[in-house]
């Protein structure tokens, strides 16, 4: 009896702790990357403008310019270059993610 209690308790803890984030990672891995690397300055919706960051929801940069900015960082070096830190495909999907923040 106690054994079953322990097993179900363990399952519960697993679901409570890991469930949401694991599900989120599978559904939208780019959002997880954005949350980890970009949200501190740009916020969840791109509008935070912390540390002098630009509001991404009203940005007028082209797709190529957004990608370039992510690769090379900002001119004033507040935003670092993510080339070499993120994989090429991550930078590309982040670019799409950033563009979608406008709608």
Q: Which residues bind ligand HEC (CB under 6 A)?
A: 37-38, 40-42, 51-54, 56, 59, 61, 66, 69-70, 74-76, 78-79, 82, 94, 98
CB 49 within 8 A of CB 55: yes
Of 47 and 54, which has the nearer Cβ to ligand HEC?
54
State the minimum distance, in angstroms, from the CB of residue 17 to ligand HEC.
26
State the minimum distance, in angstroms, from the CB of residue 37 to ligand HEC.
4
CB 46 within 8 A of CB 100: no
Of 16 and 64, which has the nearer Cβ to ligand HEC?
64
Query: What DSSP string runs through 8-62?
Result: HHHHHHHIIIIIHHHHHHHH-HHHHHHHHHTHHHH-TTS---GGG---GGG----
Of 75 and 89, which has the nearer Cβ to ligand HEC?
75
Residues in the chain: 103
State the minimum distance, in angstroms, from the CB of residue 28 to ligand HEC.
15
């Amino acid at each position: 009896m106690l054994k079953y209690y322990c097993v179900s308790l363990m399952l519960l803890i697993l679901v409570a702790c890991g469930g949401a984030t694991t599900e989120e990672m599978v559904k939208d891995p780019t959002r997880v990357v954005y949350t980890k690397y970009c949200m501190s300055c740009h916020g969840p919706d791109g509008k935070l403008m912390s540390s002098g960051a630009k509001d991404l929801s009203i940005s007028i940069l082209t797709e190529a310019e957004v990608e370039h900015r992510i690769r090379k960082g900002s001119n004033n070096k507040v935003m670092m270059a993510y080339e070499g830190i993120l994989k090429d495909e991550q930078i590309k999907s982040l670019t799409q993610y950033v563009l979608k923040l406008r709608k």
